[in-house]
A and B are shown apart, each in its own frame.
Chain A
């Protein structure tokens, strides 16, 4: 299923996918900006502030009551990072109006609520001060709370260490020191600029997209200019670096960060996608088979790529005692691929798996929208059929060529300082 594209004004694009397949209508809006420390922290506060209240719905409670009246309509906002862009996302979902009493009316009311909450926060020329103060604290807690999920924490730490000198090293929610220094007016002014001056892309999937388009066009009119954004920085891998962090954990988390030099606009992008699949994207992948099934070292182990910046990341939950062995097996898998030790079966299964997951996106409104984000960032949307074709065309030579560009940059491990010889795994 594909989207039709409509230009609503300078820097505002609307994409519609008309279908009666789903029981819901889904709408997402994305505003993107270059990733910078101060703006990142500022923007990360916005979703927290928006959910506190708007002009018409001044408290969280008022917002929630309106959404409940709309039969479980759902408004959400978050901040994402794709390459060296930070994206402010608003999403809205409600039951397909065709399934509701007075559906048409509810659809209009729902979209009005959506844009009201997203664009008219409670306050006068700035955010309501008590909300601002409290949400700043909440964001700080969120940043400190990253450590609570050891796997996510290890991935973020490895990226920060690896790209410390590049915009990509900035965490999507900013850093505590910058957040502490933010003032209400500054955050509000930046938020207004984001709403008015930065590229805005809106996607709608559902059965009443024409009415939705009409309502949205009225809501977003009046935007003025369009800021021009930068392309991500490309960096060569230097000498491999190693970092160890000690924490009182049961399980060690190993993360290995590679530079790929291949991004979405590049010819070898889909070859890299297939390469990552063969290496660690599936349960039939080399990492899963060799680290988990053959050596019994891990429960989870896998790899993923960041296709806008050009990174490949491998992570595994292991016993700290097995670190050397795990690293050795992982590097052997990467080397095997670089030297072409890939069976036809591995290649074919992986291509089939990727094609299948591409096609499966037709079955989820959210996936249909989210898959376009990287295209939005690179200003080149691709259809599912086009991607399937590109994956089908990937050859063994292409995979090897892509893997040859992949270079280890940073190895990071989060582990207990007393792991060796203590507690588990010694017998």
Chain B
């Protein structure tokens, strides 16, 4: 197995099996818990793709998430109960770009791991169980429809993107979910759930070689020609859809969200570097140590909910700023002023150097979370960002990089604002 040293004195053991599956093991001494996550490089953005010899296929929104729900269905017994019988638990999630199945357990780690591989590789889709799931997913979508954070983000994505599927909810819509058929689910499963398109990460106090051997020997043999689909993203115009939009919801006070749309043009180390530079830059605006935050807070334009984030995936990238506020227009004006001042050369070296210390500490601290670490290792594999070099790259990022990233990416021509306003809650 290839050994990749990561900061904090740990090592990731990595191997690609003959069937194409990437296996990555992070041993952590003294820990009782084992955490395993099997991920498919397949998420809500993958709704249109080309199959060699077949042409272009387009499927209803929400299908990756629907499949995630259905893989828990077994011909006999229940996946949940199986993990429970070992004292462990199992779960799954779907994002824009990946579907992940995970377990955590203290005992029977080997059985749990083997069974994770087994159930994800054994779909059991019937007319009846697919229909039944629609009621559950509908309630999940309705739950999100009542979440202000979710609603404001969805509305912002619709403002920023004309065509790109990032403008749609990961779970799809009630209508699209209702339209999904067994045949479509099976087809997407067969196309994307190929070992060559998947990665397994295991964290715990275990032997990496034995773990890898267990995966090799127990990974189910599957029919299929391997992974050959080509994902198709629509031509997304540079422009935004609309610069400002408002939605009403039964909440206590307005919420403001500003978004900037970027070209997802970075790969590998460059992507990591941009992520770090941009995250440092945004901290100069929303960080509690920033002058900007102090000004906005004292002017009562933001509260503790104020944050900003930069999200860059290989196929989509954007930045957002958000806060609850009584005065969305006034906040927008002040924030625009702050952003322009920083873009115009306001990034100070001393501030950047101090924030770099903070990022250094946060990285080491994050290693105590198996979930977070495993996710980063998975993302590193699928996206090619060298996570293990994080501290090195952090050390190399300069004030000029931060200045450059802010100037380059916070382009007002490609920005939009989404507002939630309270509607009388008790109606």
Q: How far is the CA of A100 from the CA of B137 in the complex (A)?
A: 47
Q: Does B241 contact A (CB under 8 A)?
A: no
Q: Let me know if B139 and A251 touch, CB within 8 A.
A: yes
Question: Which of A24, A282, A364 is close to B89, meaning CB atoms less than 8 Å apart?
Answer: A282
Q: Does B146 contact A (CB under 8 A)?
A: yes
Q: Let me know if A359 and B361 touch, CB within 8 A.
A: no
Query: Scoring B residues 286 to 316 as 1 if CB is less than 8 Å from chain A, else 0, what string do you get?
Result: 0111110110011010011000000000000
* Chain A: CB-nearest residue to B369: A364
Query: Scoring B residues 85 to 105 as 1 if CB is less than 8 Å from chain A, else 0, what string do you get?
Result: 111111100000000000011
Question: Which of A141, A356, A424 is close to B87, meaning CB atoms less than 8 Å apart?
Answer: A356
Specify which chain B residues have a CB less than 8 angstroms from the CB of A250 in the assembled complex: 142-143, 145-146
Q: How many residues in A have their beta carbons less than 8 Å from beta carbons of B?
A: 75
Question: Which of B29, B33, B290, B426 is close to A61, meaning CB atoms less than 8 Å apart?
Answer: B290
* Minimum-distance CB pairs A-B, first 8: A72-B361, A71-B361, A296-B135, A356-B87, A352-B87, A64-B289, A64-B288, A251-B142
Q: Does B125 contact A (CB under 8 A)?
A: no
Q: How far is the CB of A282 from chain B (nearest CB, A)?
A: 6
Q: How many residues in B have their beta carbons less than 8 Å from beta carbons of A?
A: 72
Q: Does A298 contact B (CB under 8 A)?
A: yes
Query: Scoring B residues 384 to 427 as 1 if CB is less than 8 Å from chain A, else 0, what string do you get?
Result: 00000000000000000000000000000000000000011111
Which of B50-58, B227-235, B245-253 sits within the interface? B245-253
Chain B residues with a Cβ under 8 A of chain A: 8, 29-33, 78, 80-81, 84-91, 104-107, 132-140, 142-143, 145-148, 174, 250-253, 287-291, 293-294, 297-298, 300, 303-304, 324, 354-355, 357-362, 364-365, 367-368, 370, 423-427
Q: How far is the CA of A52 from the CA of B132 in the complex (A)?
A: 52
Specify which chain B residues have a CB less than 8 angstroms from the CB of A71 in the assembled complex: 357-358, 360-361, 364
Q: Let me know if B136 and A72 touch, CB within 8 A.
A: no
Question: Which of A137, A292, A352, A425 is close to B86, meaning CB atoms less than 8 Å apart?
Answer: A352
Q: Let me know if B33 and A360 touch, CB within 8 A.
A: yes
Q: Let me know if A95 and B90 touch, CB within 8 A.
A: no
Q: Let me know if B145 and A251 touch, CB within 8 A.
A: yes
Specify which chain B residues have a CB less than 8 angstroms from the CB of A65 in the assembled complex: 289, 354
Q: Does A68 contact B (CB under 8 A)?
A: yes
Specify which chain A residues have a CB less than 8 angstroms from the CB of B361 in the assembled complex: 70-73, 94-95, 100
Specify which chain A residues have a CB less than 8 angstroms from the CB of B31 in the assembled complex: 21, 363
A284-B78 CB under 8 A given contacts A23-B367, A138-B303, A248-B423? yes
Interface centre among A21, A292, A363 (most CB of B within 10 A): A363
* Chain A: CB-nearest residue to B304: A138
A-B contact pairs, 23 of them (CB 8 A): A69-B357, A94-B361, A99-B8, A141-B303, A145-B251, A148-B148, A246-B427, A250-B142, A282-B84, A283-B90, A283-B91, A284-B78, A297-B139, A299-B140, A299-B143, A300-B143, A318-B139, A355-B106, A356-B105, A359-B32, A362-B32, A363-B31, A365-B368
Query: Scoring A residues 48 to 77 as 1 if CB is less than 8 Å from chain B, else 0, what string do you get?
Result: 000000000001110111011111110000
